[in-house]
Amino acid sequence: MNDTNINAKNTTLVIGGTGKTGRRVVERLQARNVDVRIGSRSAEIPFDWHNPTTWALVLENVESVYIVYHPDLAVPGAADSIRALVDHAVASGVRRLVLLSGRGEEEAQRCERIVQNSGVEWTILRASWFCQNFSESFMRDLVMGGVVALPAGDMQEPFIDVEDIADAAVAALTEPGHAGQLYEMTGPRLLTFAEAVGEIAQATGRDILYVPISSEVFASKLAEQQVPADYVGLLNYLFNEVLDGRNAHLTDGVQRALGREPRDFSEFVREAMAANVWQH
């Protein structure tokens, strides 16, 4: 269970093992007594996407890898990094790859094809927007401030709970029957950002407004908060291009991967409330 153990056989490497999905995957794997190695810059055996010299030791004796690319597969250069990692992993003896991908992103789908053509077992988890973006990322600060101002208009999105993604990732990493599967994962219903914010406001009993703004205003506000320019560019791409209606439909990826219905946004809100994530 120690992520510093490089001599264990059948180890599963969780890249991004401290992030939204990764830490949940780690917890689930540890509960199954799977030997887990966390892939992050802060791990005792560090993994850095931008420093390939860190990869060899992390991949030693690894059988399966959960791949999460930070900040997103849509950023320039992601495909080159994914290709290099996949080549290195396969050469190191990795036999199973599970990639977290994004819906409606051309660059992400290029990365999917790299994994699919790797020559080893693969599973793709192609996910919609995370429910937890409202509780574990920059949108939490907007919720806490009482005004969620985003360039999302009235576009609908089937928000997916990262608990479902983690369950599917663990199934793909540890169980038979998932090799060669692409699971496009959505929640069970479409919501606008205004409706999602409204559900959070009702649950918290606070006045929280959703305000549609232009991408230019959004970018300037992020810059004022000293958000890095490349991350601002990514967010604008996701809001302006990916949220154009291409993903405003439901899919059965959760049902196919897990044999059950996906968790609803309201369930996410209840659990976030129970965890006091929106408390001052």
pLDDT at 60 over 80: yes
With both helix axes pointing from N to C terminus, report the angle between 22-31 and 162-174 in degrees, rounded to the nearest 10: 50
pLDDT, residue 5, reads 43
With bands split at pLDDT 50, 70 and 90, how would you rate the model's confidence at 272?
very high
Domain boundaries defined on the chain: 11-128+161-186+249-263
9 confidence band (pLDDT: 50, 70, 90):
low
Q: What is the pLDDT of residues 134-193, one digit of tens each?
A: 999 889 999 999 999 999 999 999 999 999 999 999 999 999 999 999 999 999 999 999
Return the structure tokens found at 225: 């908060």
Residues 6+ apart with CB under 8 A from 142: 148, 149, 150
The predicted model scores a pTM of: 0.94
Q: What percent of the chain has pLDDT over 90?
A: 88
Residue 138: the pLDDT is 82
CATH topology assigned to domain 11-128+161-186+249-263: Rossmann fold (3.40.50)
What pLDDT is recorded for position 6?
42
C-alpha distances in Å from residue 39, one per residue of 24, 60, 111: 14, 12, 19
What mean pLDDT, rounded, does the chain reach?
Answer: 94
pLDDT at 149: 95
Contact 199, 159 (CB under 8 A): no
- The predicted pLDDT at position 232 comes to 87
Residue 147: strand pairing partners: 209
Looking at 54-58, 119-123, 218-222, which range is the least confident one?
A: 218-222
Pairing type for strands 191-192 and 156-157 reads antiparallel
| Residue 68 pLDDT exceeds 60 | yes
Q: What is the mean pLDDT of residues 119-134?
A: 97
- For residue 123, pLDDT beyond 80: yes
Structure tokens at 182: 């692409």
Instruction: Tell me the three-class secondary structure of 54-104, residue by residue.
Output: HHHHHHCCEEEEEECCCCCCCCCCHHHHHHHHHHHHHHCCCCEEEEEEECC
Distance between start and end Cα atoms, the chain:
35
Tokens in use for 45? 């055996």
Q: How confident is the model at residue 228 (pLDDT cuts 50, 70, 90)?
A: confident
Instruction: Return the closest-CA partner of residue 37 out of 72, 64, 76.
Output: 64
Where residue 7 falls among pLDDT bands split at 50, 70, 90?
very low
Do 255 and 262 contact (CB within 8 A), yes or no? yes
- Per-residue confidence (pLDDT) for residue 1, from 0 to 100: 37
Please list the alpha-helical segments (H only) found in the chain.
Answer: 22-31, 55-59, 78-91, 106-116, 133-136, 138-145, 162-174, 193-204, 215-224, 229-237, 253-258, 265-274
- pLDDT over 50 (residue 2): no
